Structure 1
Amino acid sequence: MDPRQARTQRSLHSSVVELIERMPLADVSVTDAARAAGVSRDTFYRHAPSVADVLAAALGEELDEAATEFATARGTGRERFETAERALFAHIAHRRGVYLHAMSPRLASPVRVMLLERIEVSLREYLAEHPEVAPEPQGALTGDALYDLYAAYGAAGTVGAIEHWLVGGAEGHPDAVARGVLAVTAPWWWRGA
C-alpha cells in the first residue's frame, strides 16, 4: 500500500473508532465516516464496503498486538493462555464503548467475524506448535480438520463470553473475566505444553 493510501486508511480507522465511541454503529453512515476522515464517499468505498468493515479492520489491527503476545509469550501453555486472555479482555475493556455500540444485540457481523478469525488463527497456530496437546481423534476428523474444529470451537466460546460480558455491563475486571473464561476452557489446551 502506498503511503497516501496508508494515511487514508489510518484516518478512516481512527475516525470510525472515534465516531463509534460516541454513537451506535447503526447510526453512523458512510457519509459521516468519510466526512470525519476528510475523504470522499468514493474514497471510503475504495477502502471498505461498510462502516462496520472499517471498524472491524481498525479493531483487528489493535488485536493483532494481543495475538503477537500469545505467539511470543513464554512459559507453560496455561501461562501463555492467561497472557493472551488478559490482553484480549484488556483490549475489549479499553474499547468497551466501541464494542457496545457495535452490538445490536450481538456484535455486528464484520466485528464478530474479525474476533472469531483472530482467535481461531491464534489457537490454530498454537495447535500447530503443540500438536501433542490435542485430544485423540474420535471419528472421521483428523489432523488439520480436527485442529480447525478445536480452534473454531474455542474461538466461538470466547467471542460468546465477550458478548455476554459486554451485554452484562462489562462488570468485573478484565483479568477476572479472563480467568473465568480460562476456568471453563478445556484444560487439554495447555497440558504438556
Structure 2
Amino acid sequence: MDPRYRRSRERFRGAVYQLATLKPITEVQVQELCEAAGVTKDTFYRHATSPVDLLADVLAEEFDAITVTYDDLAGSSAPEAPIGVATRVLLQHVLDHEAVYRKCMQPHLIAPIRATLEDAARTALERHFAAHPEVLPPTVEPAPVVLAIYAGYGAAGIVGALEAWISAPEHDIATGVAAILATMPAWWFTKPEPTTHPQQDALSEQV
C-alpha cells in the first residue's frame, strides 16, 4: 500500500470513529469527515463513496483481522474452544466501539454495517466447513449451494444475536458468549458417530 494512501486511511479511520461516536453515521457529511481527518474531498473519494461506506470498510478490516486470527474453529462450542474465543474477541470489538454500533441501530443495524458483520461470519463458517467436511450433516449432499446455505443461515443468526446484545442496556461479554454459543448447531463442531447397517449390527452381536 502506498505510504500516502496508508496515512490518509489511518486519518479517515480515526475521523470516522470519532464522528460515528457522536452521531449516527448516516448524519455525517463528507465535508465534516474531511475536516476531521485533515484531507480533501478528492482524497476522500479515493477511499469511499460515502461516510457509511467508509465506516463499513473500516469495520470490515477489523473483522477480517479477527477471522484470520481464528481461521480454524474446530473443537467444540465451549467458551474456551476456538469458536468461543473468537466470539469473545468479536463481542469485545463491539464493546470497544459501543457508541458507534448503538448509533448504527435504526432499530436494527443499518444495511452496510450488517452486511459487513454477516460477510465476516459467513466467510469464517465457510472456511470451517471446507476444512472439516466430516462435521456436515449426512442428510444433505454438501454441494457448494448447500454450504452457502449453512454459512448464510449461521451468519444471519450470529448477527441477529449481536444486534440484541448491542441493544441491551448492559453488556456482559461472558453472558453474550454463552448465549451465542448455545444457539449454534451442535453439528458445527461434533463429528458424527459412524453408522452401520442393521445386518452388520446383528453380525457384530453374534460375534
**Given the two structures, how large is their TM-score scaled by the length of structure 2?**
0.85
Native 8 Å contact 1:69 1:83 kept in 2: no
1:87 aligns with 2:83: no
Q: 2:103 maps to which residue?
A: 101
Q: 2:134 maps to which residue?
A: 132
Q: 2:19 maps to which residue?
A: 19
Percent of matched pairs sharing the same residue: 34
1:124 Cα deviation after fit: 0.4
Native 8 Å contact 2:136 2:187 kept in 1: yes
1:121 Cα deviation after fit: 0.4
Give per-residue Cα distances to partners, 1:35-59, cap 9 Å, x unaligned.
1111112221121011111111112
Give per-residue Cα distances to partners, 1:64-116, cap 9 Å, x unaligned.
2321232157x724312111111111111111111111222221221111111
Q: 1:2 maps to which residue?
A: 2
1:112 aligns with 2:111: no
Between the two proteins, the alignment pairs up a number of residues equal to 189
Task: Give the 3 Å change call, closer, same or farther, for CA 172–39 of structure 1 in structure 2.
Answer: closer
Native 8 Å contact 1:77 1:192 kept in 2: no
Q: Distance in 1 between matches of 2:139 and 2:52?
A: 38
Q: Distance in 1 between matches of 2:2 and 2:66?
A: 26
Native 8 Å contact 1:34 1:44 kept in 2: yes
Q: 2:63 maps to which residue?
A: 63
Unaligned runs of 5+ in 1: none
- Provide runs of 4+ in structure 1 moved above 4 Å: none
Unaligned runs of 5+ in 2: 193-207
Q: Which amino acid aligns with 1:177?
A: G
1:137 Cα deviation after fit: 4.4
Native 8 Å contact 2:95 2:171 kept in 1: no
Native 8 Å contact 2:129 2:135 kept in 1: yes
Higher helix share: 1
Native 8 Å contact 2:136 2:142 kept in 1: no
Task: Give the 3 Å change call, closer, same or farther, for CA 95–181 of structure 1 in structure 2.
Answer: same
Q: Distance in 2 between matches of 1:93 and 1:131?
A: 33
The structure with higher relative contact order (CA 8 Å, sep 6+) is 1
**Given the two structures, how large is their TM-score scaled by the length of structure 1?**
0.90
Structure whose alpha-carbon radius of gyration is higher:
2
Q: Distance in 1 between matches of 2:182 and 2:189?
A: 12
1:9 Cα deviation after fit: 1.3
